[in-house]
Structure 1
Amino acid sequence: MLEHGGNLRDAALAFERPLDDWLDLSTGINPHWYPVPPSSASANAWHRLPEADPALALAACRYYGAPAMLPVAGTQAAIQALPRLRAPSRVVVAAPSYAEHAHHWGQHGHSLRQVAYADLAQAIDSCDVLVICNPNNPTGERIAHDVLLDWADRLAARGGWLVVDEAFGDTEDAASLGAHSARPGLVVLRSVGKFFGLAGLRLGFVAAQPPLLSALADLLGPWTVSGPAQQVALAALSDTAWQAAMRARLRQESAWLRQLLAAHGIASAGTALFQWWPEPRAEQFWRHMAQHGIWVRLFRHAAHGIRLGLPPDEPAWLRLQQALTAWNKENT
């Protein structure tokens, strides 16, 4: 199993610090999650088998601007299943990116290459499937929609796919590619966990042509999304006032985080939910922050650097500032 952020129990064991004495900045999950009321799920949602509620898919289509969407148990479920829906293919996964994509496309008989973002345009004509995160996780890099649509058309002309993971797309100014997902071969993944801060729901959506969605649904089987998750997500996706206010808040806090890092000599990039930078002393920085009870995401391989999520409150901001100041003092 691949390593991911949010693994606080590992941090507590490795650094012998109690679990509740950590500031977890290792994910890009919104620390100001959607306010789920205690009675948000009806008794039937807990009692009955979770039939798919058509209202949820319709709410997702409105929110993401897609003509057809399939709810799944987190985009991870789709990431694991999509490679099983194709015969052995030539697959290119943009690198660096969310590691689960390459991990699963590397199985099931596919021929896998990982290609740097700068070189993707040269790889289009020599692959059958291109998988890309947009904006990218962990670097925040983006590729323009008109470029992606051109690539999708070129792949589709020979029966190929363009899979675009937009898990961090909710705060982007550009509209989702989901609006174009009626095109052949275009598959768009969206996550409820990141922007809404509801990672524990395990809910995401896939936008694509209906036959592909039907094949994916058949592969995943029945009851993939729990009843309570469906009811909570329906409320969150429909709450346009909360969404607008949260986008503004996250953009402001993201600017604060960039400014704080810059004040300590760190030039970062990212999204409204995280910052990332290539760090020559990445392991030293990660260990330093852990010794201050702050868990950040260390990338050791393709993206050798650090990713930081947003602090949840004022004491957390102060704790991060103090740890950064100590890092500078120890390394200048």
Structure 2
Amino acid sequence: MDPDSVDGAGRVPHGSSDDPDVLDLSANINPRVPGGTRRAYRAAFEDARSYPNDAYPAFRAAAADYVGCDPEQIVPTAGGLAAIRLTIGVTVSPGDRVLVPAPSFGEYVREVELAGGEAVVVPHGELLDRDPAEYAMAIVCTPNNPTGECYPTAALRAFADRCEAAETTLLADEAFLGFTDRPSLAGRPGVVVARSLTKLFGLPGLRAGFVVADGVVGDRLRTARPAWSLGGPAAAVGAHAMRDSAFVEETRRRVERERAFLRSGLDTRGFDALPSDAPFVLCDVGESPADLLASCRERGVVLRDATTFRGLDSHVRIAVRDRDATERLFAVLDEVR
């Protein structure tokens, strides 16, 4: 992090509400957790009484099996954002240019600027067409947040090859990729993959994630990673969750089904609901969404104001949950529309 760049940085708005009396559709969190998660968490209590094994063998083995790479390539972090910050921190120097998509996760620009770099923001649909040789790093988010679509696999891999040839680090944020059947870029030369256990496993407060990398960047990540970068209980629960392949498969099928139901109902009610591969749907409401957001909030339903994403001015983002949650949303929309 560049100290001279911190003073001019701001915070980035995010979704989620801690109000237990509302239906929170602003954060894209699985409403279910893998079976046995509570038991695994309780069993890990004793791990919190001492420093964790800084090698994290069980967590790294589970993560490697989960994404399909070598355990030596896994660098544990306290969540996906910590993985992104660590990667940018060991790659971007003051003055470096970084290719960043928009609209997309706002923390990319913030982290690049905190490192003293210059975020060169381009439409996310055009990013793979850029020449990576002009940048120290390129960042992709797949599925993209908040638009929801994945980059085509062949095009993404071709871009990764061009980044490797240009010696440009490619940071692939795969926070939502587990909701899809798409292959990870984990283990691909020149690519750093950031993964989070927050969304798919319904554990945002656990703060568990990891980076996948090899080569020079991988060595830097392993050196720069803080000691005990992942708490013992988080490592134990994370390993338990990633081993539950049946839960992952069930979640994918359920989200696919419930997303189709959500989009159909939104279309029926006059919303322009974009196609999505993610556990959320971006909707163009055709006007400033402030009134809609406020009216829904008054009736106990919280949506994500997507106008805080660069380039969007009439959108809301809605999380895919279960059928009861979606039908409650529809009832509210029928009142306010």
Count of paired positions:
314
- Show the counterpart of 2:144: 136
Q: What code does the residue aligned with 2:81 have?
A: Q
- Show the counterpart of 1:153: 161
Matched, 1:288 2:295: yes
Matched, 1:275 2:281: yes
- Show the counterpart of 1:32: 32
- Show the counterpart of 1:83: 88
1:311 to 299, 321, 335: 321
- Is the 1:56–1:230 Cα contact (8 Å) retained in structure 2? yes
1:54 to 54, 57, 79: 57
- Is the 2:80–2:210 Cα contact (8 Å) retained in structure 1? yes
**Secondary structure of the residue that 1:225 maps to in structure 2?**
coil
Decide whether aligned partners of structure 1 residues 327 and 66 sit closer, same or farther in structure 2, where only a CA change above 3 A counts: farther
- Is the 2:40–2:240 Cα contact (8 Å) retained in structure 1? no
**Secondary structure of the residue that 1:306 maps to in structure 2?**
strand
Quote the Cα distance in structure 1 between the aligned partners of 2:137 and 2:232: 34
Q: Once the two structures are superposed, what CA deviation does each residue of 1:17-58 show, in whole Å capped at 9, x if it has no partner?
A: xx3321100011111223422453334312110123212111
Quote the Cα distance in structure 2 between the aligned partners of 1:122 and 1:238: 37
Matched, 1:66 2:65: no
Decide whether aligned partners of structure 1 residues 234 and 266 sit closer, same or farther in structure 2, where only a CA change above 3 A counts: same
What TM-score do the two structures reach when normalised by structure 2? 0.87
Matched, 1:164 2:165: no
> What are the equivalent positions in structure 2 for 1:131-280 lying under 5 Å apart?
131-178=139-186, 181-183=187-189, 185-209=190-214, 211-269=216-274, 270-280=276-286
- Show the counterpart of 1:302: 311
Identify unmatched segments of 5+ residues in structure 2.
Answer: 1-10
Deviation at 1:114, TM superposition (A): 0.6
**Secondary structure of the residue that 2:202 maps to in structure 1?**
coil
Quote the Cα distance in structure 2 between the aligned partners of 1:146 and 1:252: 26
Decide whether aligned partners of structure 1 residues 202 and 264 sit closer, same or farther in structure 2, where only a CA change above 3 A counts: same
Q: Once the two structures are superposed, what CA deviation does each residue of 1:279-318 show, in whole Å capped at 9, x if it has no partner?
A: 332222212211211111102242331111123462x333
Decide whether aligned partners of structure 1 residues 145 and 295 sit closer, same or farther in structure 2, where only a CA change above 3 A counts: same
- Show the counterpart of 2:7: none
Identify unmatched segments of 5+ residues in structure 1.
Answer: 10-18
Quote the Cα distance in structure 1 between the aligned partners of 2:264 and 2:230: 39
**Secondary structure of the residue that 2:157 maps to in structure 1?**
helix
- Show the counterpart of 2:12: 2
- Is the 1:191–1:203 Cα contact (8 Å) retained in structure 2? yes
What TM-score do the two structures reach when normalised by structure 1? 0.88
Quote the Cα distance in structure 1 between the aligned partners of 2:175 and 2:103: 15
Decide whether aligned partners of structure 1 residues 236 and 302 sit closer, same or farther in structure 2, where only a CA change above 3 A counts: same
Decide whether aligned partners of structure 1 residues 90 and 43 sit closer, same or farther in structure 2, where only a CA change above 3 A counts: closer
Quote the Cα distance in structure 2 between the aligned partners of 1:102 and 1:187: 17
Matched, 1:42 2:41: no
Quote the Cα distance in structure 1 between the aligned partners of 2:58 and 2:264: 41
Decide whether aligned partners of structure 1 residues 104 and 248 sit closer, same or farther in structure 2, where only a CA change above 3 A counts: same
Deviation at 1:210, TM superposition (A): 5.0
Q: What code does the residue aligned with 1:226 have?
A: G
- Show the counterpart of 2:330: 321
Deviation at 1:142, TM superposition (A): 2.0
Deviation at 1:150, TM superposition (A): 1.9
- Is the 2:263–2:273 Cα contact (8 Å) retained in structure 1? yes
Quote the Cα distance in structure 2 between the aligned partners of 1:229 and 1:221: 15
Quote the Cα distance in structure 2 between the aligned partners of 1:104 and 1:167: 17
- Is the 1:135–1:168 Cα contact (8 Å) retained in structure 2? yes
Quote the Cα distance in structure 1 between the aligned partners of 2:87 and 2:285: 33
Deviation at 1:197, TM superposition (A): 0.8
Deviation at 1:325, TM superposition (A): 0.7
- The sequence identity of aligned pairs, in percent, is 31
Q: Once the two structures are superposed, what CA deviation does each residue of 1:88-116 show, in whole Å capped at 9, x if it has no partner?
A: 42211011100001111123231221100
